[in-house]
Every structure is written in C-alpha cells, then in structure tokens.
Structure 1
Amino acid sequence: MSARHAETAAAAAFPGMELAEVRARAELQTRRDRKYLVRRDVFLAFLDRLADQGDWSILQIGGMRRFRYSSTYFDTPDLLTFRQHRQGRRRRFKVRTRSYLDTGACTFEVKLEGARDATVKQRREHPFALRDELTDDARAFLAEVLRAGYGVDPPGELIRTAVTAYWRRTLVQRSGTARITCDTGLVCRSEAAAVVADPGWVVVECKSAGPPTAADAVLADLGERPRRISKYCLAAAVLHPGLRANPWRRSLRDWFGTEDAESPPLPPARRRPETSRPRAAPGANEAPGVPVAPAVPAAPSEAGGRAA
C-alpha cells in the first residue's frame, strides 16, 4: 500500500467534521504553535494513536478529507521578513495570500508574533483571481494591522518572493479547542526555480490557545520534539541560494531532496523567460549557491478548495 493510501485509510478512522463546526471550535487566530517534521511511518502511528483516543475529528468538505493549498508570500526586495524570522526578532511578521484550491477561495493574511511566543493571524477575503497580487485593499489592511500591532508602517515595497503548494489534513479536538494540521507534498517555486521537498516527511503542527495538547504528548511518546519550521523561510532558503538559514538547517537537510509524484499542481509560470530552467533542490550537504530573482509566477489556474 502506498503512503498516500495508508494515510487515507488511517484518516478514515476519524469522524468527519464540517468547516463551520471546525471554525466554531478551533478558529485559533491567536494561538501557540508547535511544529514537528516526522517520517511518514511515524505519522501513521501518530494517526492511529489519536484515533484510539476517540476525541478527534477530521475536517470534511463535500466528502473530501485532504485539501490542496497554495500560498503566495510577499517580502521586500532584500527579504526583510525572512531576516526578521532568521534573527528571531520579537516584532516580526509574514504577508501572504492563501488559496484553497478545491473551492476557489482565497484570503489575505498577516501573521504577527504576539506575547509569550503566541502567533496572531489576521485575515480578510481576497479575490482568487488576484491571489498572486497585493491589491489596494490588501495593502490598506496590512497597514492597519502593522500600525495596530506594532505601531509601524508597512515596508514601502513588497514583491512576490515565493509560492508554496501542498496537501493538508486537519484534525480537531472535540473535547477542547486544539487543532492539528498535517501537510505533505510540499513544492516551492520562484520565477527561476521549482524545488520539491522529500515526500517521506510530514509537517505536523499542533495549535492551541494554551499549553501543549494530548497530540503533543503522543508525538513526544513517539520520540518527536518540536522544531523551528517556517514554510516561507524554508522556501526562501531553497529558492534563493546564498541566504543564511541557520535556524532551519536541520529541516532543510531532512526535508528537501527527492521528487514527490503526488505533489499538488503548481502555478503555471506567466511570462516566464524561455531560458529559465528549474533548479534542483540542494543535497543534504550542499552549500547554497547564487541568489535568483525574487519574482514568482501566479498561483494555479484551476478552481481550488478551502479548509480551516
């Protein structure tokens, strides 16, 4: 049985929960996140143990339990937000659009670092057709969020620096407010390169308003510990060789390598130069090379899907 079919079978052990109930129980726009990068065999064991607890449901929309996501990230030409995260700045933020490729929905999101390592995410609806662009409304919303949260104006210039695409399953605790997202098949793209993460790994993110959850305890019992993981920062590191990315060195070494045949479709490159060729992912011991241009293509053209 393939890894995908094994995970589908494991996910079938959970009762389904509709999106409206997921939002009511575990919206968690202000939360604490604990992220794990685990092998797929460990992930299957994790799902089995959670199912045995009888306290978790899985997001289900129209019979689907696994959803396609795409995020377009915006940063300054000198990658200010990447550098803020690399340096562990207390006042740091990320700017992105998130597209839900199975329903054609899209949001514009600003993530701030809150008090006591909490993540504060603020978002608003965004036109799906403009998912690779910062609209005037999005820029105004960004300015409002940064001024209210940090008392600062947004950077004068923001450009597209990376697009990520992946599959996601979402689990929700029925007796509390915890939520778990499980991401596979990550692909990162810029104008000059497309890099596919090793399909043997899964990012598990445990989200709660307070302390670690029962899911964290299961992962600890399986020998896993939280890691410092940021899809944007990892994407920036592999797409823009030459960037220092020390906080994510272990995850870069583990996660990026072989191609994944089940990776979700990526954006077609608009106006892509004919001479451009994708750059392969660096090997585990390969040092970064020369920076590439930060512009990226538009997000996928097919209608997509939204999950929590």
Structure 2
Amino acid sequence: MTAPAVAAALRPVSLEEVNALAPLTLRSCRKYVVPASLVPVLVDHLAPGFGVLGDGGRTVFRYSSTYLDTPDLLTFRQHRQGRRRRFKIRTRSYLDSGLTMLEVKLKGARGVTDKRRTVHDGRPGELTPAAARFLRDVMDGYGAELPRPLRVSAVTDYRRTTLVAFSGAERVTCDTGLVCAHAGQTAAMREDLALLEVKTRGGVTGVERLLHRHGLRPVGFSKYAAAVAVVNPGLGGNRWSRVLRRCFDRL
C-alpha cells in the first residue's frame, strides 16, 4: 500500500479524529495476510466510508515494537499454548514523531483484547521505575503477578497505514516491510505481502466480508510470536508454521 494510492481514495484524518471515531482499546482483532497488490483494490472499495490516518501529507508511518519477556519466554509460551488468559508487554515507538508508549495487551473473555498504554519515560524496552509501577498496576487489575525478571526478547519494525470507518464500527491497519529480530537474528516478511488487522467491537465487518469474497480468511499471527519462532524453529512454533512459511522465505 503506497501513500499516493491511499491518499487518492480516502480522506486523511488526524490522530485525534481516529481516536474519537474508533478508539477500540477493548476489541476483537482478526488478522489477514493478503497480496500487497490487492490492498489498493480493497481501499478503492472502502471509499467514501473510510478515512486514512494522515499527518502533513504522510499516510504511511514507521513503527518499532520492543517486546519484554522472561528469560524462559513465558509470554511466548502462553501464546503458543493458546492460553485464554495471556498478555504481552512491549514498548512501541512511533519513529516519525519520536513518541514511545508502554503497552500491555491483555487477552480476556471470549478472546477480547484489552490494550492498556501510557507514555514511556525511558528508552525502548527499558523498565524504568514509572514503567514498573504501571505494569504492576495493570497486572494487579488483571489478577496476575507481573513476571520477573523481564528483559528485551524481540524487536519488530514495520510500516503501517491505518484506515478508520467513519461509522466508528471498525479500524483496519495495514503493515508492510515487517522485519523481526530475536536472539541476534533477523527475518524479513516478503515484500509482496501485507498484514491486515481488523479491529472491532462487533462480529464480522464489512471489510472482512470483502476479504472473504477474495478468498481470504483470518490467520493466527502474532508479530512477537513470529519474531521468536521464525528465527528459532526449535522453540515450537508449529501452530504458526503454515502462515510463517508463507510470509518468510527463510523457512
């Protein structure tokens, strides 16, 4: 998805408008791996009911997420096992603005994701005293202990375009150029693919019905799990093996 292709079809909206229309911090999320060539076709179908996050003419933004986990990869193992109650801890840096947020994604009842976040006061992945207090408070509210020790376990870098329905019913992110790093190794997602994530409080959305008509179905995909599993198959990422083989040439 290129910035000109999106800007030509959808009205740019500010971050404040996106958050007002569809904050969706408590949501259901479904991911789709799609041919990058299909994305402009999908975008054309979305206008005029969708806007695109824009800032100064830019509609594609650079993200970097730094994940925190225990030395024995507790978070990764919980996700691999499909635990109904699980969490991920990361800092997310918005490279074009210089802002870094500390985020916790909590998995709750019926697979709903509850994302808690705050401005981070340290370097990416650094557990400052304020960060530690925030994490303890979130985990206390979740009814779980904050795992210890936490350390940087993986980093993912990618480009993101965010689409938002003016109805507020859904938000769609499109990630390209994904590069995963874990244990000193890196793996890059194929450039001819894009990762779409549909975020909603309801059931199947209009965007998803459009994807289904193109023969596309949701996939189990986690950037963090991919970062760990794709460079270290011995850690048991079999549940994602099919989608990872499709996305990464090194498998």
TM-score range, shorter chain: over 0.9
**Is the 1:17–1:57 Cα contact (8 Å) retained in structure 2?**
yes
Aligned partner of 2:71 in structure 1 is: 77
Q: Deviations over 1:233-261 (max 9, x none)?
A: 0011123341111221111101112xxxx
1:120 counterpart letter in structure 2: D
Q: 4+ runs of 1 displaced by more than 4 Å?
A: none
The 8 Å contact of residues 97 and 109 in structure 1, kept in 2 or not, is answered as yes
Give per-residue Cα distances to partners, 1:109-141, cap 9 Å, x unaligned.
Answer: 0000011111000000003x5113121211211
State the shift of 1:11 in Å.
Answer: 4.1
Aligned residue number for residue 274 of structure 1: none
Quick one: which of 163, 173, 177 aligns to 1:181?
Answer: 173
Distance 1:177 1:105 in 2: 27
SS of residue paired to 1:33:
strand
Question: Which is greater in Rg?
Answer: 1
Greater alpha carbon shift after TM alignment, 36-45 vs 153-162: 36-45
Normalized per residue, the structure richer in strand is 2
In 2, distance between residues paired with 1:157 and 1:10? 43
Asked if the contact 2:169–2:202 (Cα under 8 Å) also holds between the matched residues in 1, the reply is no
Any idea what the Cα deviations from partners look like across 1:151-198, whole Å, max 9, x if unmatched?
221112111111100000000101233100000000112352121111
2:113: which partner in 1?
Answer: 119
CA distance in 2, matches of 1:10, 1:143: 40
Aligned twin of 2:230: 238
Counterpart of 1:157 (choices 146, 149, 157) is: 149
Q: Does 1:192 align with 2:188?
A: no
Q: CA deviation at 1:13?
A: 0.9
Give per-residue Cα distances to partners, 1:65-97, cap 9 Å, x unaligned.
000000000111111000101111011000000
Q: 1:43 aligns with which of 39, 56, 66?
A: 39
> Residue 39 of structure 2 aligns to which amino acid in structure 1?
F
How far apart, CA to CA, are the structure 2 residues paired with 1:247 and 1:38?
19
Contact 2:68 2:125 (C-alpha < 8 Å) held by counterparts: no
Matched, 1:145 2:138: yes
Deviation at 1:42, TM superposition (A): 2.3
* Alignment-mate amino acid for residue 173 of structure 2: T
- Percentage identity across paired residues of the two chains: 47
- Aligned-residue offset at 1:62: 1.8
Aligned length: 251
Distance 1:203 1:195 in 2: 15
SS in 1 for 2:39: helix
1:132 to 125, 138, 143: 125
- By how many angstroms is 1:39 displaced? 1.0
TM-score by length of 2: 0.96
In the aligned structure 2, how far is the partner of 1:155 from the partner of 1:112?
A: 14
**Aligned with residue 110 of structure 1, among 104, 108, 130:** 104
TM-score of the two chains, using structure 1 as the length reference: 0.78
Query: Contact (CA 8 Å) 1:168, 1:184: kept in 2 or not?
Result: yes
Please list every run of 5 or more consecutive structure 1 residues that lacks an aligned counterpart in the other structure.
258-281, 284-308
* Equivalent residue letter for 2:44: D
